[in-house]
């Protein structure tokens, strides 16, 4: 199963409406995922617009890139494998001083629950991992099994 098999963008029409997109806009999509929103955004801002598609999950980047290439929209996106929290440094590194819109489709993709091996699923008997990228070494299991009660309370309360 690949990311594209189960990805259905949520509220796509509402997102496009509220972003108030125009040809030539530069849009930051901090949760690229399966590119469902991204495709609709590109169609609204092309041929002069650009989208910065960011995702921490390299599989999502790969899937989105392949999907966009297959439908001829790859030239309208710059993909970045990073955390959207680093938006300032991402834009600085790309030498982009201003964007016209910002999208975060927050939540957990159903593929992370349905697919074994990532430790997000309550449907599988597997180690609790919950990392979006293997670049992060600390797993949820490590935290739950090594942190003190006070340390866990701090995480949950903050």
> Per residue in 72-112, pLDDT tens?
999 999 999 999 999 999 999 999 999 999 999 887 666 66
For the entire predicted model, the pTM comes to 0.76
Paired tokens of 66: 């392949």
**DSSP per residue over 17-61, as a string?**
HHHT--TT-EEEES--TTSHHHHHHHHHHTTT-EEEEEES-HHHH
pLDDT at 59: 83
- pLDDT one-digit tens code per residue, 9-48: 778 889 899 999 999 999 999 999 888 899 999 999 999 9
Q: Beta-carbon neighbour count of residue 64 at 10 Å?
A: 27
24 near 49, Cβ under 8 Å? Answer: yes
pLDDT for 126 equals 83
Token pair recorded at residue 74: 């790859």
What would you report as the CA-atom Rg of the chain, rounded to the nearest whole angstrom? Answer: 17
The domains found in the chain, sorted by start residue, are 3-107 (3.40.50.150), 116-157 (no CATH)
3-state secondary structure of 10: coil
């Amino acid at each position: 199963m690949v990311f594209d098999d189960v990805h259905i963008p949520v509220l796509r029409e509402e997102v496009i409406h509220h972003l108030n997109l125009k040809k030539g806009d530069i849009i930051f999509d901090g949760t690229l995922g399966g590119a469902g929103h991204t495709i609709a955004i590109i169609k609204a801002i092309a041929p002069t617009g650009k989208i910065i598609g960011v995702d921490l999950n390299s599989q999502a980047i790969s899937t989105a890139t392949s999907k966009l290439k297959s439908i001829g929209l790859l030239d309208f996106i710059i993909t970045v494998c990073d955390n959207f929290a680093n938006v300032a440094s991402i834009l600085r590194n790309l030498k982009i001083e201003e964007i016209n819109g910002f999208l975060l489709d927050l939540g957990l993709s159903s593929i992370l629950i349905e697919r074994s091996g990532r430790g997000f699923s309550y449907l599988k008997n597997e180690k609790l991992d919950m990392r979006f990228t293997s670049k992060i070494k600390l797993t949820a299991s490590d935290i739950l099994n090594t942190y003190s009660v006070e340390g866990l309370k701090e995480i949950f309360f903050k």
